[in-house]
Structure 1
Amino acid sequence: MFKKSILLIFSVVVLILGGCGASESSSGGDSSKSDPSKEDKKLLSDEEFEKMFSEPKKYKGSGVDFYARVFIEPERDSDGTYLQAFANNHDERNVVIMSEDPSLEIASEDIIHVKGVIKDTFEGENAFGGQVTAPAILAETVEVSDYQTAFAPAKETIELNEEQNQHGYILEVQKVELADQETRVYVKVSNEMDAKINFYSFDAKLTADGKQLEEEMNYDAGYQEVQSDILPGVESEGIIVFPAIPEEMTEFTLYFEGSSENWELTLEPFVFDVVLP
């Protein structure tokens, strides 16, 4: 029997998915080693998946394909790995997931891509006395993903790969990704000077149609950031996020500023014109 842990929910889920009896029993199945790929399942559409949270039992046996963020450290035993996550990065879309892989390398805060089958509804208490109601899902596959793939996919990608060099301070805009939620600019700064250089992403600007957009921090995404202090011979790269731009926009301009600790040098703003295909 799976040992008790800080979240009682996981030990209960083993019973639900294994058909060994729980507050909500599973339908059919001859063992906890059921093969979801052999079940006659209909894959839920995005709209049906959202509706499913209000009445999970109605969708038992249905296939699901979704992204989620793990919010509790996974539990494991010899039968598998047990996860609790927020589907679609929404804290009201709690799901309980079992993978039959005990060695699954997933950690709390990981963003995952899950394909599987809805087995039942879990209803119970966690170790803190809180009520938990969530779809119980038996996973076919669980893979680690990233924020931009899962929750803010690019509608358009502009491969710019353009660099500007001022006295050995090199700034390259690698690409720009346009998503419904945000605009992502991939930047690399290289220091070929003899002195330390500085780069501050909050000085970056995006201008178009007479409007100026500032950097918009997305702490939830955990994007890599360009370092602010860069020593000689070092390069640093990261993602700068701006608000989403209107679909009808055909071009815009990016402005970046940098400085050097060699005060004899003057650096002008780095300016890049981006034309959408």
Structure 2
Amino acid sequence: MKKYISFLILISVLVLAACGETSSTDGNKGDKNEPMKKEKAAEAKLLTNEEFEKMFSDPKKYKGSEVDFYAKIFVEPERDSDGTYLQAYANNNDERNIIIMIKDPDIDVAAEDVIHVKGIIKDVFKGENAFGGQITAPAVLADTIEKSDYQTAFSPAKETIDVNEEQNQHGYKLVVEKVELADQETRVYVKVLNESEDKISFYSFNTKLVANGKQYEEEMNYDANYPEVQSEILSGVGTEGIIAFPKLPDDLDTFQLYFEGSSDNYELDFEPFVFDIKK
């Protein structure tokens, strides 16, 4: 369950943490404290992936550490003149709730965006979520936030097979551009072009992947929000998207992709579009 946090508290936590970088508790002692600040900055280190995961169990222990991670924003950002404030979950895990501030009120991010964050753990938030549950979450002051995508962030390809093969039946063109093999899934990049005079149809759920005598069906990945090939395609129109299947065995050398298509011109006969894929 996503842990929504009051942004009134969130903003005060992060603004105070950010202001702490440049202000001291005693103006007359500012110069004396400066060497200490530089020393602490020099001690900051980038957390490894393993350390980053451990950090969520005890964020306070890692305060001041550098972080470099991917996350998905799950509520609309809040903004004021000091910056933008985000609630996200890291590493595609809704148990990894994290709070992020960046000193840029105009940064172009929104709910459901996947982002790449580099910054410093500035503080630890403790309080209640919108459902009354207790929550402890790291608060990160980001140096940079860049938009990314699900594939890059959470399911990187271990191997990419460039196919770039086109088949054409009656002006119905189907192109397999590439196949990505990842630890979690198999992604097929497909393009359909209608160069006929009639409307054509394509349904991704009719697609099959066949390997070693086993048939795989499309596997919807709702977290990824992949672009979908449109199901009804007008004359002169093209559409493209990603069709996801389960992970394939690592020792697999070849497999086949089967696609079905149809036209509003019922006098035309279509055979399945069959692609032989070799790693």
Normalising by structure 2, report the TM-score.
0.88
How far has the Cα of 1:100 moved from its partner? 1.0
1:266 maps to which of 263, 266, 269: 269
How far has the Cα of 1:31 moved from its partner? 3.6
Listed as ranges, the matches of 1:35-50 within 5 Å are 40-50=43-53
Task: Answer whether contact 2:68 2:118 (CA < 8 A) is retained.
Answer: yes
In 1, the alpha carbon distance for the partners of 2:156 and 2:87 equals 23
Task: Answer whether contact 2:13 2:123 (CA < 8 A) is retained.
Answer: no
How far has the Cα of 1:104 moved from its partner? 1.1
Listed as ranges, the matches of 1:57-136 within 5 Å are 57-126=60-129, 129-136=132-139
In 2, the alpha carbon distance for the partners of 1:206 and 1:222 equals 21
- Aligned equivalent of 2:230: 227
How far has the Cα of 1:130 moved from its partner? 3.9
After alignment, is 126-135 or 63-72 more displaced?
126-135
Where structure 1 has 5 or more consecutive residues not aligned to the other structure, the ranges are 21-28
Task: Answer whether contact 2:60 2:124 (CA < 8 A) is retained.
Answer: yes
2:22 maps to which of 25, 30, 34: 30
AA of the residue aligned to 2:233: I
Aligned residue for 1:114, secondary structure, equals strand
Task: Answer whether contact 2:199 2:263 (CA < 8 A) is retained.
Answer: yes
Query: Deviations for 1:138-181, whole angstroms, at most 9, x for unmatched residues?
Result: 11101111111111111111111100001111000011111111
Listed as ranges, the matches of 1:140-219 within 5 Å are 140-219=143-222
Q: Quickly say closer, same or farther: Cα 1:114–1:157, change in 2 above 3 A.
A: same
The percent of aligned pairs where both chains have the same amino acid is 67
How far has the Cα of 1:18 moved from its partner? 3.1
Task: Answer whether contact 2:18 2:141 (CA < 8 A) is retained.
Answer: no
Q: Does 1:137 align with 2:129?
A: no
- Aligned equivalent of 1:10: 10
In 2, the alpha carbon distance for the partners of 1:9 and 1:109 equals 22
AA of the residue aligned to 2:188: V
Aligned residue for 1:241, secondary structure, equals strand
Aligned residue for 2:243, secondary structure, equals strand
Task: Answer whether contact 2:14 2:123 (CA < 8 A) is retained.
Answer: no
Aligned residue for 1:51, secondary structure, equals helix
In 1, the alpha carbon distance for the partners of 2:15 and 2:231 equals 51
After alignment, is 181-190 or 126-135 more displaced?
126-135
**Greater fraction of residues in helix:** 2
Normalising by structure 1, report the TM-score.
0.89
In 1, the alpha carbon distance for the partners of 2:88 and 2:169 equals 47
- Aligned equivalent of 1:24: none
In 1, the alpha carbon distance for the partners of 2:84 and 2:42 equals 21
AA of the residue aligned to 2:181: L
AA of the residue aligned to 1:159: D
In 1, the alpha carbon distance for the partners of 2:42 and 2:94 equals 29
Aligned residue for 2:227, secondary structure, equals coil
| Equivalent residue pairs, number | 261
Aligned residue for 1:266, secondary structure, equals coil
Query: Deviations for 1:102-123, whole angstroms, at most 9, x for unmatched residues?
Result: 1111111111100111112111
Task: Answer whether contact 1:191 1:197 (CA < 8 A) is retained.
Answer: yes
Task: Answer whether contact 1:117 1:137 (CA < 8 A) is retained.
Answer: yes
